[in-house]
Amino acid sequence: MRSLLILLASLAVAAGCAVDTASPARVAERFHALIAANQDEAACGMLARRTAEKLPGPGQSCADALRELGLGPGGVVTSVSVWGDEAQVRMAGDTLFLHRFSDGWRVKAAGCKPVRDLPYDCEVDD
């Protein structure tokens, strides 16, 4: 009986350490689905507050700025990396960076392309 309790406790601890990659992937897919459906205002609602505030130019709304950027389709998720409250979601047509806030995952950067020997260059970022 004691061995069974130790095994169950070990499994519970291991399950608690599992990294949730599905949630950031769903957020990235939803973000791109909204953009593809021309629901830019709703897509802005998925951005981190600081990102949404920084995106628009003078006299422009967040939705107008997203529409003007013309982000391409995200495509299928090819990989997800999560470290603490940060995540990177690579899609066939985009790379996004997300942060987990108290209300869930939000997009901090999108339209990101790797730059040789430098950080990513992103169309949308904070």
Q: pLDDT at position 77, please?
A: 97
pLDDT for position 118 = 83
Length of the chain: 126
Q: For residue 91, what are the contacts with CB-CB under 8 A and spacing of at least 6?
A: 28, 29, 32, 74, 75, 76, 77, 78
pLDDT in tens, the chain (126 residues): 443 333 333 444 444 557 899 999 999 999 999 999 999 999 999 999 999 999 998 899 999 999 999 898 899 999 999 999 999 999 999 999 999 999 999 999 999 998 988 889 999 998
88 neighbors 95 (Cβ within 8 angstroms): yes
Among residues 58, 29, 68, the alpha carbon closest in space to that of 46 is found at 29
Measured between its terminal Cα atoms, the distance across the chain in Å is 54
pLDDT of residue 72: 84
Count CB-CB contacts under 10 A for residue 22: 10
